[in-house]
Amino acid sequence: MPGISSSAEASAIEDAYSEQIRGLFKVLFTNLIDQPGSDQQSASRFATGMTRAKRARDLALAAIESPAAETRALPRSTRSRALPGSMQRRKKKASR
């Protein structure tokens, strides 16, 4: 039954996400105590960690929905359409 497995996997992903958020908060709290005056820098790092944790959670949840969903969730690089550097050089030499 794929639905039950997916549900268990989704629950594990959400649990891991919650653990990461707890960890980020603990680091923020410790930094505020240990490094007074660095509130802005600590908050910025916390926000970056939150963004990355959310992205990881969303990618993982998309991956268990369907195998094709994983590739749709990843951003496409414009560089992938370009020829590799060695092929571009060969193409230029051939056209001379």
Question: pLDDT digits over 62-90, tens only?
Answer: 999 876 644 555 565 544 445 455 555 55
Instruction: Note whether residue 83 is domain-resident.
Output: no
Q: Which helix (H) or strand (E) holds 90?
A: helix 85-95
Rounded Cα gap, residues 70 and 58, in angstroms: 10
pLDDT at residue 91, rounded to an integer: 52
Whether residue 17 is predicted with pLDDT greater than 80 in this model: the reply is yes
Greatest Cα pair distance, the chain, in angstroms, is: 66
Instruction: Note whether residue 38 is domain-resident.
Output: yes
* CB 54 within 8 Å of CB 16: no
The total number of structural domains that make up the chain = 1
pLDDT at residue 18, rounded to an integer: 97
Instruction: Note whether residue 88 is domain-resident.
Output: no
Instruction: Note whether residue 61 is domain-resident.
Output: yes
> What's the pTM value of the predicted model, to 2 decimals?
0.62
Instruction: Note whether residue 95 is domain-resident.
Output: no
> Could you give the percent of the chain with pLDDT greater than 70?
64
| Average pLDDT across the chain, whole number | 80
Could you list the residue range(s) of the whole structural domain that residue 50 is in?
2-76
